[in-house]
Structure 1
Amino acid sequence: MNNLLIVEDHFLIGREIFKAAKEARKIENIRLTDSLQEAISLLTKTKFEVVILDLNLPDGNGIELLKWLKEKQIETKVFVFSASIALKRSCLKNGAQAFFDKANDFDALIETIKNTSLESPSSLN
């Protein structure tokens, strides 16, 4: 994995994901943003193989980003990391590869990042 985007509005959680991901594997570029609009801006300029996505953002909902990615046909693996368990089905329906519960699944999220294929999604069949 070369590029990882973390979309998380809670600074401490975002920082912990950042640190754990950096320790888990060599990633050339990790970007951390706390807003939907900045995430969209970054995704239009840079190819991110993986996006870690919170759903409750100050300027919108992460599901909006999932729909935007699908509409723009931007291929990236999206791992939702949220306390909004009720939205899990909607996230998966809109293109998320996995959903992790903030209350229980931090270690599972980091393990998934560590084990994620280096190939871009378009090369996976």
Structure 2
Amino acid sequence: MNVLIVDDEVDLCKLLSLQLKSLGLASEYVNSISEAKEKYRPGKFDLIFLDLNLKDGSGFEMLDYLKQFKSTPRVIVISAYDAERSQVLKEGADYFLPKPFSKKNIAEIIDSF
């Protein structure tokens, strides 16, 4: 399974990448919406971890961008703001993961897919 991490916190990207690697998953990370759009190709990623608050826009923009493709990866939105949960799910995310989260949380979500 190939995973794309989209978050402007580099340390979080590195930590999440290590956690995913320990679960046997390959990952890449980018720090902005524009980088995510450049990196994304249909079929390249099976899963996206997407932060909502990025330096060049909102994760909602990326959710909208993904809607143009027939086949899209599952999207897990990560955010410190739990109030956004229902809106995120309405906009097409598969799961909302509140920050902070643990490796166990990640494993449980991935296993549920």
Question: What is the distance in 2 between the residues matched to 1:110 and 1:59?
Answer: 29
Paired residue for 2:81? 84
- TM-score (normalised: structure 2): 0.88
Matches within 5 A, 1:14-93: 14-25=13-24, 27=25, 29-44=26-41, 47-93=44-90
Q: Where does structure 1 differ by over 6 angstroms across 4 or more consecutive aligned residues?
A: none
Could you list the runs of 5+ residues in structure 2 that have no partner in the other structure?
none
CA RMSD of aligned residues (A): 1.8
Could you list the runs of 5+ residues in structure 1 that have no partner in the other structure?
118-125
Question: What is the distance in 2 between the residues matched to 1:79 and 1:63?
Answer: 12
Secondary structure, aligned partner of 2:93? coil
Indicate if the aligned counterparts of 1:18 and 1:30 stay in contact, CA closer than 8 A. Answer: yes
- Provide closer, same or farther for how the CA distance between residues 9 and 46 of structure 1 changes in structure 2, counting only shifts above 3 A: farther
CA positional deviation for 1:116: 5.6
Secondary structure, aligned partner of 2:41? helix
Higher relative contact order (CA 8 A, sep 6+): 1
Q: Which has the higher helix share?
A: 1
Q: How many residues matched?
A: 112
Secondary structure, aligned partner of 1:9? coil
- TM-score (normalised: structure 1): 0.80
Deviations 1:64-116 (A, max 9, x none): 1011111333411000111122211111011111001103x333124323x26
